[in-house]
Structure 1
Amino acid sequence: MASYPLPSHLDGDARRLNLQHQAFRLILNEKLLLTPVVPADFSGRVLDIGTGTGLWAAEFAASHPAASAVVGVDLFQPDLPSPPSPPLPNLSFHILDIESNNWQPPFLQEEESFDIIHGRMVLFHMRDPLALLRKCFALLKPGGYLEFQEMEHPYRTDDDLKDSPTVRFSRLRLEAASKCGFDRSIAGRLAELLCEAGFELDDDGTCNECGVHDYKFPIGSWMEELRMKLVGEKYLECLRLGMVGFSKRVMMEGLGWTEEQVIKACEEVREDLGKGRVYAPVRVAVARKPSVAAAAVTG
């Protein structure tokens, strides 16, 4: 059994995952990727790791009909909220435990067979994130791009509520996850891990082509810009929907809490959510597999 610590969309988590996708679309100005040079007539192959309900993969396939394949993998088959009709010929979903050593199913084809690999909130839940990055490196064509979008714990605040129930509980979840083998602060180490796996980033770490982009995911509608208010509202609803589900296992296994203790703490946090200027740091890292000509995405 895979070690993924959260409920799946099959356990009623689909709405939260879809809201999370919408929030990421908003914060990235409706882009699916920050990866450079992905033209509308892109004809390459794309892998979406940890596809969830499949929304990202379906939207990419629909917006890039010339893409030869958009492959989504996860522990379960996705449950798209609005399956495309007619079905998209370039879109497929497959079951894969990304933490397993069995990465030889035929749908992945051979090594160096993908032009782009995308993952969102994946390394956050991995016990060996470097191993996954190395697998991605092997699957990418030379000059291909990898993009991971990761959230970081603990939550931060722009005011004096550093010991609010929301911020305090995020610190406890960070501690609990660490004791279970998960690094919820991994976003801060993304550049280092990508380089260790063999990827290229810009020398100065900027976002000119390959590098990191940092964002704030507000909890609630406290930011002034309308787009960010919407991000905050969606992320607030994500937390309300998923607080018990994504806290229970790590708190019980990592800190020895009872289920009743977790539920009580989550109820306290739910009452506090949206108060103050609290946010989750998010880092998007874009990296490239080296090639002789340092080519852009093929296709």
Structure 2
Amino acid sequence: MFKSASRRLMSSQATLALGRAPKAPSQPPKLAEKTPYPLPTSSRGVERRRLDDMHHGIARYLKQLTFAPIENPSRILELGSGTGAWSVEAARTFPSAEVIAADMSPLPETLNTLPNLTFKQMNFLEPFPFRPETFDVVHMRFVLMHLPQPDNYIHRLASLLRPGGWLLLEDVNHTLLDANRPIGPGVQALYRGYREHMHNQGVDPGVGARLKNMLETSKKFSEVNEIVIPCYMNPNSTEDLALQELGQILKYSIDGVYVGIMDKVGPTGGITPEILRGWRKEVNDPERDLRIDMHLTWSRKM
């Protein structure tokens, strides 16, 4: 599956196991409003399907939970658990570990899970409800780009880890690149609205490209590792069938992000149906070589 050591990969999600999801309390009023997450936070409907499709597409591509050499962890935390797929796989992979899935929205009631998995509803902008240095693994995927001051957040995440524990951060550089030519007016128009909306929220949609530097600059980790995955919008951009499938999954997932912003915040999100049509025309142009890079990191705390 790999062309070379520089081959770009991503961390896995997973299939579901036996059991029922733990019951979670109803979402407190305005919990989601306190967090600059631009999409619907319901664990049902279109957004759940989008997240599940993305999770399982990544799982098929990567075929493992993480590149970090994790051995016998006792406590694992996923911040931003979404539909719970990664947390379920972590619970299956490490059955003797306590796994905590944390998010603004409860896990789906229909989710199959395991006895060593529990759920914690929380707002990531507020103080963590966990004692410092009590986790062996902390995982976040596509969450840091929605949080203000991500550089400072690295320190908060590191505080949760025991010495020698692993921080698994994965995010995108939300910038379409075209190997053949400059991006077209359709993509440019969408990006103007999208980036203005994100920056108005005080968050960085391109944080993925800064992950490695932020982790190293924090001085909290004895080692910082990174792999970058090119997610091609055009299947003809690569002969690798696995990358072709991953690129198509991410293309439709990203499209769903824009639809979600348009539906949730309306014109203030800077994305209109006309702008979305222009994006779709260009991103599906077989003559273009568009891609978005994903950044996967695994760092060991000192």
TM-score grouping bracket, smaller chain normalisation: 0.7 to 0.9
What pairs up with 1:61-100 in 2 under 5 angstroms? Answer: 61-67=91-97, 69-79=98-108, 82-84=111-113, 88-100=114-126
In 2, the alpha carbon distance for the partners of 1:21 and 1:277 equals: 24
Gaps of 5+ in 1: 203-209, 291-299
Give me the TM-score of the superposition, normalised by structure 2.
0.79
Q: Which residue of 1 aligns with 2:249?
A: 234
What pairs up with 1:257-296 in 2 under 5 angstroms? Answer: 257=270, 262-275=272-285, 276-290=288-302
Q: 1:131 Cα deviation (Å)?
A: 3.3
Q: Alignment length, in residue pairs?
A: 265
Does residue 59 (structure 1) correspond to residue 89 (structure 2)? The answer is yes
**Per the alignment, in what secondary structure is the counterpart of residue 224 of structure 1?**
coil
Q: Contact (CA 8 Å) 1:201, 1:286: kept in 2 or not?
A: no
**Per the alignment, in what secondary structure is the counterpart of residue 162 of structure 1?**
coil
CA RMSD of aligned residues (A): 2.4
Q: Which residue of 2 aligns with 1:25?
A: 59
In 1, the alpha carbon distance for the partners of 2:67 and 2:215 equals: 16
Q: Which residue of 1 aligns with 2:38?
A: 5
Q: Which residue of 1 aligns with 2:76?
A: 46
**Per the alignment, in what secondary structure is the counterpart of residue 63 of structure 2?**
coil
CA shift in 2, pair 1:213/1:171, >3 Å: farther
Q: Which residue of 1 aligns with 2:225?
A: 211
Q: 1:14 Cα deviation (Å)?
A: 0.5
The code of the aligned residue for 2:115 comes to P
Q: 1:34 Cα deviation (Å)?
A: 1.9
**Per the alignment, in what secondary structure is the counterpart of residue 187 of structure 1?**
helix
Q: Contact (CA 8 Å) 1:177, 1:184: kept in 2 or not?
A: yes
In 2, the alpha carbon distance for the partners of 1:279 and 1:168 equals: 17
In 1, the alpha carbon distance for the partners of 2:167 and 2:277 equals: 38
Q: 1:250 Cα deviation (Å)?
A: 7.2
Q: 1:277 Cα deviation (Å)?
A: 1.7
Q: 1:2 Cα deviation (Å)?
A: 2.3
Q: Which residue of 1 aligns with 2:208?
A: 187
Give me the TM-score of the superposition, normalised by structure 1.
0.80
The partner residue of 1:137 within 153, 158, 182 is 158
Q: 1:167 Cα deviation (Å)?
A: 5.6
Q: Contact (CA 8 Å) 2:134, 2:160: kept in 1 or not?
A: yes
**Per-residue CA distance 1:45-102 (angstroms, 9 max, x = gap):** 11001000000000111122122x1111000112276513xxx12101110101113x
CA shift in 2, pair 1:74/1:8, >3 Å: same
Q: Contact (CA 8 Å) 2:40, 2:264: kept in 1 or not?
A: no
In 2, the alpha carbon distance for the partners of 1:131 and 1:251 equals: 30
In 2, the alpha carbon distance for the partners of 1:268 and 1:172 equals: 13
Q: 1:124 Cα deviation (Å)?
A: 0.8
CA shift in 2, pair 1:116/1:211, >3 Å: same
